[in-house]
Amino acid sequence: MSGKNLLLTEEQRELAEMAAQIVNTELAPRVADLDRTGEFPMDVMEILRNSGFYGMGIPEQYGGLGFDNTTQMAIYEEIARVDAGFSFNFALASGEFGILEDAGASEELKKYYADKILSGSVCSFCLTESQAGSDASNISTTAVREGDEYVINGTKCFITNGALADLFMVFAYTDKSKGAKGISLFLAEKEDGVKIGKTEDKMGLKLSVTSEVIFDDVRVPASRLIGQEGRGFIYAMHALEKARITSMIHALGIAEHAMDIALDYAKVRVTFGKPIIKHQGLAFLLADMQKRVDAARAMLYYSAAVLDRGLAVGTLSPSTKIFVSETAMSVTTDAVQVLGGYGYMKEYPVEKLMRDAKVFSIFEGTNQINLMVSSGILEHMK
């Protein structure tokens, strides 16, 4: 194995091992076929939900387990070692409760959302639009107040879980004249009339279902406004600040899996009369890959500990996102190199891992945008 977080408690290790056993049994044998078809294994999600892993970050007073970020990440790390597309979808499907807390949502809405999730509903985070990716304030979706309802119109794209979701956290302008300060956040439901457009055929991360979500005169009760009008952009930025750390656990799982495959191969592949790990060129490459995996793991769990203590993450958020995503890309690329011609063939999983890794330098803000975020923080740092 490419390593573990040695600072986990016994309970955290046991939970992670339990999740690993489930996905290694129920998901691992099917990953190659699912990668080809793009089908999402809802049955595996259901098994994990029945085992208590769904909505595990929801506080105990709302029926959840109240796991902290570190515990959740330890569990998702093991799932991501099997397939990061699945683990990413699974985490986002039930992991948005923190947005409600950050927004100061009503107790009624928090309980309503928690009950829905713990009953098996899937949630999606609907911010991105065709002209509003990194520039999130450039969205065109609107929400107009009519009596006790808001009428939402607009189209979101590249939405994780879009085609699977029952619940949609949707960002829309309630007052365009105020710019970003006119964006609000709502909880819409599929039964409100939300429609699903095309589902994307992606380069990698195939088990993460990514779709277009259409709001055409979707009427949402005013009671499902999350927080205050005009604060939606702030809620989005706070959510992204956290997600730039927590979502990278899936990239770490990819890097670890690639490292394990490359190392196992290097020990048995013989050239010039000895295993290729005995050749210094390959041995040093493997050592460098492991160095990056170890550093990424340490950075991720340190950042998670900062989140769990309620401390300001500052540059840690964009820095973690950039470093771990770059690690996943470089380690998977090197793993393909270690396997040589076999690494380039679909018969071996490292080419899939390389395809899966690429998107982590794109979503949650591209790495270039995150450099801008980090430099902006540095500019105002005292």
- Answer yes or no: are the C-beta atoms of 107 and 62 closer than 8 Å: no
The pLDDT of residue 237 = 94
Asked if the structure places residue 1 within a domain, the reply is no
Asked if the structure places residue 289 within a domain, the reply is yes
Q: Which of 129, 212, 351, 364 is catalytic?
A: 364
Secondary structure of 42-68 in the HEC alphabet?
A: HHHHHHHHHCCCCCCCCCHHHCCCCCC
Check whether 3 has a pLDDT greater than 80: no
The pLDDT of residue 177 = 93
**For residue 83, what is the domain's CATH number?**
1.10.540.10
Residue range 223-248: mean pLDDT, rounded: 96
The pLDDT of residue 216 = 98
- Domain final position from 230, 265, 286: 230
Strand pairing of 210-221 and 270-271? unpaired
Residue 261 CB contacts under 8 Å (≥ 6 apart), including other chains? 335, 339, 348, 349, 350, 353
100 & 129 share domain: no
The pLDDT of residue 6 = 83
What is the Cα–Cα distance from 162 to 197, expressed in whole angstroms?
9
271 & 350 share domain: yes
| Token pair recorded at residue 350 | 């490292």
Residue range 330-338: mean pLDDT, rounded: 98
Terminal CA-to-CA distance of the chain, rounded, Å?
Answer: 42
Residue with tokens 């709502």: 186
258 & 157 share domain: no
The domain in which residue 46 lies consists of 10-118
Residue of 104, 74, 13 lying closest to 305 (CA atoms): 74
273 & 370 share domain: yes
The pLDDT of residue 1 = 65
Asked if the structure places residue 3 within a domain, the reply is no
Tally of domains in the chain = 3
Asked if the structure places residue 239 within a domain, the reply is no
129 & 113 share domain: no
The pLDDT of residue 81 = 98
Q: How far is CA 321 from the centre of its chain?
A: 11
- Domain final position from 92, 118, 144: 118
Residue range 219-233: mean pLDDT, rounded: 96
Residue with tokens 């290729």: 276
Per-residue pLDDT band at 2 (split at 50, 70, 90): low
Q: How far is CA 37 from CA 41, 136, 206, 300, 314, in A?
A: 11, 31, 8, 32, 40
Give tens-digit pLDDT for 117-129: 999 999 999 999 9
pLDDT above 90 as % of the chain = 94
The pLDDT of residue 166 = 95
The answer to whether 364 is a known catalytic residue is yes
How many residues does the structure list for the chain?
382
62 & 172 share domain: no
Check whether 276 has a pLDDT greater than 90: yes
The pLDDT of residue 5 = 80
- Domain final position from 59, 85, 118: 118
For residue 73, which amino acid is it?
A: M
Residue range 218-224: mean pLDDT, rounded: 97
252 & 370 share domain: yes
Per-residue pLDDT band at 106 (split at 50, 70, 90): very high
| Token pair recorded at residue 196 | 């699903």
190 & 222 share domain: yes
Asked if the structure places residue 271 within a domain, the reply is yes
The pLDDT of residue 13 = 96
**For residue 331, what is the domain's CATH number?**
1.20.140.10
The pLDDT of residue 234 = 96
58 & 108 share domain: yes
Check whether 45 has a pLDDT greater than 70: yes
- Answer yes or no: are the C-beta atoms of 117 and 169 closer than 8 Å: no
Mean pLDDT across the chain, nearest whole number?
Answer: 95
Secondary structure of the chain in the HEC alphabet?
A: CCCCCCCCCHHHHHHHHHHHHHHHHHCHHHHHHHHHHCCCCHHHHHHHHHCCCCCCCCCHHHCCCCCCHHHHHHHHHHHHHHCHHHHHHHHHHHCCHHHHHHHCCCHHHHHHHHHHHHCCCCEEEECCECCECCCHHHCCCEEEEECCEEEEEEEEEEEECCCCCCEEEEEEECCHHHHHHHEEEEEEEHHHCCEEEEECCCCCCCCCCEEEEEEEEEEEEHHHECCCCCCHHHHHHHHHHHHHHHCHHHHHHHHHHHHHHHHHHHHHCEECCEEHHHCHHHHHHHHHHHHHHHHHHHHHHHHHHHHHCCCCCCCHHHHHHHHHHHHHHHHHHHHHHHHHHHHHCCCCCHHHHHHHHHHHHCCCCCHHHHHHHHHHHHHCCC
The pLDDT of residue 135 = 82
Check whether 133 has a pLDDT greater than 80: no
Q: Which residues of 180-189 are buried (b: 16+ CB within 10 A; e: fewer)?
A: bebbbbbbbb
The pLDDT of residue 145 = 97
| Token pair recorded at residue 276 | 């290729």
Largest CA-CA distance found in the chain, in angstroms, rounded: 80
The pLDDT of residue 322 = 98
| Token pair recorded at residue 297 | 């793991």
The pLDDT of residue 381 = 82
177 & 219 share domain: yes
Asked if the structure places residue 40 within a domain, the reply is yes
The pLDDT of residue 315 = 96
Residue range 127-143: mean pLDDT, rounded: 89
| Token pair recorded at residue 251 | 């990239």
Phi/psi-derived region of residue 364, left when phi > 0, alpha when psi is between -120 and 50, beta in every other case: left
